[in-house]
Amino acid sequence: MPTQLMPGERSIALVRQHWSVLAGHVLGAIVVIVVAIVLDVKLPTKVGSTSISTVKNIVALVLIVASVLWAGLRILRWRFATYHLTDRRIIMEGGILSRTAETIPLDRIQNTVIHRPFGDRLIGAGDIEIESAGRDGVEVLHRIPKAEAFYNELLTEMNTPPSAGAPPRPAGL
């Protein structure tokens, strides 16, 4: 559920990280599942005269369930994390059960940088660093899809004065 906008505030873009941030987690879960199944099938069912088939099946099942839950949790975290650009601020939201929202007012942004390494350029993604007044360090919007378009919209909104009909932007919001 996205944060409510302030009166007179206009939404510009709402994005989440590129789906490729999930690739390693999903691939890792698939590898664990395949290894668990292969080991369950290939390992002997008896050690000496003792049957270990139940233990073998339980271990395989635990590995499969744990990897599915782990990948599912990562997918949910990705699904519920968003970056919302408005004409007044950037809202970064995240969390599955408990939600966190952080805002950066556009009039407080001092510097922005876009990083697009070769791999990210191939998929159209990139990182946007935002340095703002009154904050320690830099806030990084990681692996934004269509990063250049988002970055250009951000720069446009930062350099656009509030419209005459809109109420003035409150300082510090």
- The predicted model gives 1-5 an average pLDDT of 68
CATH of the domain at 149: 2.30.29.30
In-domain check, residue 170: no
In-domain check, residue 110: yes
Supply the pLDDT for residue 5: 87
- The predicted model gives 83-105 an average pLDDT of 93
Supply the pLDDT for residue 69: 97
In-domain check, residue 1: no
Q: What is the pLDDT of residues 25-48, one digit of tens each?
A: 999 999 999 999 999 999 888 888
Range of the domain at 144: 10-163
In-domain check, residue 92: yes
In-domain check, residue 173: no
In-domain check, residue 4: no
In-domain check, residue 168: no
Decide: pTM greater than 0.85. no
Count of structural domains within the chain = 1
Supply the pLDDT for residue 68: 96
Does residue 172 register a pLDDT over 50? Answer: no
Does residue 60 register a pLDDT over 90? Answer: yes
What confidence category does residue 168 fall into, taking pLDDT thresholds of 50, 70 and 90? low
Closest C-alpha to 158, from 68, 97, 90, 77: 90
Phi, then psi, of 126 in degrees rounded to 5: 180, 170
In-domain check, residue 18: yes
Q: What is the DSSP string of 50-102?
A: EE-HHHHHHHHHHHHHHHHHHHHHHHHHHHH-EEEEESSEEEEEE-SSS-EEE
